[in-house]
Amino acid sequence: MNTSTTAGEKKMYKVKIRTEQKTYPVYLGQKALDSTGQLISAILPPCTALVVSDKNVAAHYGEKCLKSLRDKSFEPFLEVLEGGEKEKSLSSAAALYSRALEAGMDRSSVIIALGGGVIGDLAGFVAATYLRGVPYVQLPTTLLAMVDSSVGGKVAVNHPLGKNLIGAFYQPTLVVADGSTLHTLPEREFNAGLAELIKYGIIWDKKLFERLELSLSNNKNTTPKKHFLEMNCSRLLKHIVSAVIIKGKIVSQDEREKDLRRILNFGHTFGHALEAGTGFHYYLHGEAVACGMAMAARLAALLGILDPLFVQRIIALLKCLHVPPPPLELNRDTVIEALFYDKKKEGKELVFILPVSLGKTTVCKTPPAPLIERVIEEYLGGELI
């Protein structure tokens, strides 16, 4: 990582992501959005820029982004979508292709994703496929998008039969994360993003886990969002930088998720079953992952591969996120069915990424069913998170 400072502004961090497909910088700073035009112009010549956003994000940051681009002679136009998971569809993509064609966009044009993971995944998918690929820039505005989805090049839309089934590995040209945009992010979304940040601590970086413990477990009188944004903005930015560095290391070794990158799916096997078992309406993605991480840690303890003391610490930290309790109508059989539906669909074994200590994981294929059932029952009984 190298850090740089823009004139008169706060510190800007720069992390280089190196993959076989592309090497690109991720800039992180407070007010980084103001420098969007400048940062893109260092990489691309002035051109037509399709800025994709959703209505919440565009209302706060659309104009700022357009101004910054115009100041550097880009010709931007903004497409504002309703937002929400339903936007990750082939029909939303088709509408964006039409807008790009109407605007005469060619391979020297750029697509810019201004928003959370939904906008990033969709705009990235359109960029990967429009004219067989045009450059795209990620401007993540949720914590989840800053620490995870904007980096690494997974772009996708959903299919009626499942999430993210139509997609590509297509790396962005540049990522610019502005920490100050998190002030307007709803508290629940903030906590869901924190779950993904905690994930890096558990799978890779014990020190990050301990720093998050210090920040969150010792500050029970305030919410995580208030704690970080009102008192410890610079600390949060450093945590986000740590996450991006870790993701960069993982993705540079295994861009296409053949092996190492699978550890980023820690918490996702149970988490995805909870999302699917509740019709994708009850939990935010990060909340389901938080539950899934608690369940995976407990499963690891039951298998005897993780010290129960670590399970307690993991669960204590995840509890700071105030994830909604398991819905009353959810039962064990529904969760099990959702777990095994995935397995059938992919024609693969049921795979769990399990922690063996803080910062280390192992891959566990098809653990004993009675243990899986016990963990699900503990979760449903409110004993875990």
What dihedral angle (degrees, nearest 10) is formed by the CA atoms of 185, 115, 78, 48?
140
Options 87, 189, 196, 287, the catalytic residue: 196
**Residues touching ligand GLY: how many (CB under 6 A)?**
6
**Window of 147-155, 206-214, 310-318, 362-370 that interacts with ligand GLY by CB under 6 A:** 147-155
Q: Clarify whether 319 is annotated catalytic.
A: no
Q: Which stretch binds ligand GLY (CB under 6 A): 4-12, 21-29, 146-154, 317-325?
A: 146-154
Task: For residue 203, give the 3-state DSSP assignment.
Answer: helix
Tell me the per-residue interface mask from 139 to 178 with ligand NAD, x by CB under 6 A, - otherwise: --xx-xx--xx--x-x--------xx--------------
> Is residue 287 a contact residue for ligand NAD (CB under 6 A)?
no
CB half-sphere exposure, 256, CA atoms < 13 A: 4
Nearer to ligand NAD, 205 or 255 (CB): 255
From the candidates 56, 158, 191, 265, which is the catalytic residue? 265
Question: Smallest distance from the beta carbon of 268 to ligand GLY, in angstroms?
Answer: 8
Give yes or no for a contact between 184 and 151, defined as CB atoms under 8 angstroms apart.
no
Task: Give yes or no: 268 in active site.
Answer: yes
Is residue 251 within 8 Å of residue 274, measured between CB atoms?
A: no
Verify whether residue 257 is a known catalytic residue: yes
**Residue selected from 17, 37, 154, 215 as contacting ligand GLY according to rule CB under 6 A:** 154
Least distance in Å: CB of 339 to ligand NAD? Answer: 18
Is 265 an annotated catalytic residue? yes
> Which H or E element spans position 358?
none
Please pick, among 239, 247, 298, 313, the residue that the annotation labels catalytic.
247
Token readout for 356 is 């063996």
The item of ligand NAD, ligand GLY, none sharing an interface with residue 85, based on CB under 5 to 8 Å by kind, is ligand NAD
Phi, psi of 78 (to 5 degrees): -105, 130
Minimum Å gap between C-beta 295 and ligand NAD is: 19
Nearest of 291, 310, 313 to residue 300 by alpha carbon: 310
Mapping DSSP to helix (H, G, I), strand (E, B) and coil, where does residue 376 land?
A: helix
Q: How many separate helices (H) and strands (E) can be counted in the chain? A: 15, 12
Q: Which of 261, 272, 298, 313 binds ligand GLY (CB under 6 A)?
A: 261
Rounded to whole angstroms, the Cα distance separating 154 from 164 reads: 9
Q: Which does 239 bind (CB under 5 to 8 A by kind): ligand NAD, ligand GLY, none?
A: none
Per CB under 6 A, the segment of 63-71, 134-142, 256-264, 363-371 that binds ligand GLY is 256-264
If the CB atoms of residues 66 and 264 are measured against ligand GLY, the closer one turns out to be 264
Report whether 57 contacts 119 (CB < 8 A): yes
Cα distances from 238 to residues 1, 255, 276, in angstroms, run: 12, 24, 33
| CA distances from residue 251 to 2, 248, 264, 292, 331 in whole angstroms, order as listed | 19, 5, 10, 22, 36
Q: Which residues carry out catalysis?
A: 132, 154, 196, 247, 257, 261, 265, 268, 272, 285
Interface ranges with ligand GLY (CB under 6 A): 148, 152, 154, 257, 261, 264
